[in-house]
Amino acid sequence: MFIRFGYEIGISCDQPTPMMTYLSVDRARRSDIISERGPVADPPVKIGEVVDPHGNVCMRMVVPAGGLKLSYDAVVSDSGRPDRVNLEAKAVPVERLPSVCLPYLSASRYCETDRFGPLAWRLFGEIEPGWQRVKAICDYVHDRLIFSYGYAPALRTAMEAHEERAGVCRDYAHLAVTLCRCMNMPARYVNGYMGDIGVAGDPAPMDFNAWFEVYLQDRWYTFDARHNIPRIGRIAVARGRDAADIPLIQTFGKHELTTFKVWTYMEETGAMTKPHSQPDVSLLSPWFSEQWSRHVREREHGREH
């Protein structure tokens, strides 16, 4: 199976501004890329790459006065298989965890484990440690939160999402990560691409997606509290303790986001002989709020009945 994916992001700055981005595909998936164009900066600027402490590739550049547009377009080969499920996967006692897992047990910027401990143990303490416990956490988070771009402040923490009962995929991941850590299971935040492959289309504009991974038995497993079912075609970009570790864009100075388009869909071939499909709307389209608000109200009504 082939998946076409990419982005077009515009940044406006009044003066030359250093910028870092976490937009590069995970190094483990690079060998699956069949065709690609970019990343391309317009106007052209020097783009450097560094590898962060979590193993992610981070791009560095200086945005010129006036701004620039970054774009990337690629086709990746994918197995077409959904996320791996292992109902027998057991939690690993803390004393036997690999040392690389230990940072993913502690509190982080958006995951306040110190505030969730009693609640987590009350809700999940009687469930068998391992896959069943993580699944129970996913079920809880999925039912607890209502998804809405209308309620997406960038600085919302796991506790705030839990109390406000609303959020976007980032908030679902942060809350689930926090609860898993409270139960002594290493959990890390993942950002990447995931299109509507094998499922009904989503009325929201395409965006980067967030999910999480939990270390069980002898490896990291993918979980997704927002969709709460195994999905096809995830393309990871970066992993960290939470979103603060892997911001899509971080500028060291004032900037304005002028363009934000993302695409992810099944493609017929890997040749990229045709232009990519243009999203009908983007997250910067102001008229979209009303449509999405109606979708959320319908979902809430369905839950009540």
Which domain CATH number covers 67?
Answer: 2.60.40.2250
Please check whether residues 145 and 119 belong to one and the same domain.
yes
DSSP-assigned letters across all residues of 104-162:
GGS-BTTB-HHHHHHHHHHHHTTSPTBHHHHHHHHHHHHHH-EE-GGG--TT--HHHHH
300 within a domain of the structure (yes/no): no
In a shared domain, residues 43 and 178: no
Instruction: Give the domain-ending residue among 242, 270, 295.
Output: 242
The pLDDT value recorded for residue 286 is 46
Q: Write out the residue range of the structural domain in which residue 131 sits.
A: 94-242
Same domain, 276 and 221: no
Residues of the chain below pLDDT 70: 150-152, 203, 278-305
Q: How many residues does the chain have?
A: 305
Give 44's contacts (C-beta < 8 A, 6+ positions apart). none
Residue 84 lies in a domain: no
The pLDDT assigned to 287 comes to 39
Q: What per-residue confidence (pLDDT) applies to 289?
A: 46
Same domain for 276 and 225: no
Q: What is the pLDDT of residue 281?
A: 58
User: Over the stretch 40-83, which tens digit does the pLDDT of each residue have?
Assistant: 999 999 999 999 999 999 999 999 999 999 999 999 999 999 99
Tokens of 11: 């940044």
Residue 292, domain member (yes or no): no
The answer to whether residues 210 and 265 belong to one domain is: no
Q: Given this model, what pLDDT does residue 151 score?
A: 63
How many folded domains does the chain comprise? 2
Q: Which residues pair with 209 in a beta bridge?
A: 192
- The CATH number of the domain holding residue 101 is 3.10.620.30
**Do 13 and 118 have their domain in common?**
no
Q: Looking at 208, 224, 242, which one is the last position of a domain?
A: 242
Tokens of 116: 């969730």
Predicted local confidence at residue 200, as pLDDT: 84
pLDDT value, residue 294: 56
Q: According to the model, what pLDDT value does residue 148 have?
A: 78
Kindly state whether residues 138 and 47 are assigned to the same domain.
no
166: its two tokens: 């609303």
Q: Which of 188, 207, 242 finishes a domain?
A: 242
Tell me the C-alpha distance between 147 and 164, whole Å: 11
Residue 96 corresponds to which tokens in the numbers above? 């036997």
Question: Does residue 101 sit in the same domain as residue 75?
Answer: no
Is residue 304 in some structural domain? no
- Same domain for 54 and 107, yes or no, is no
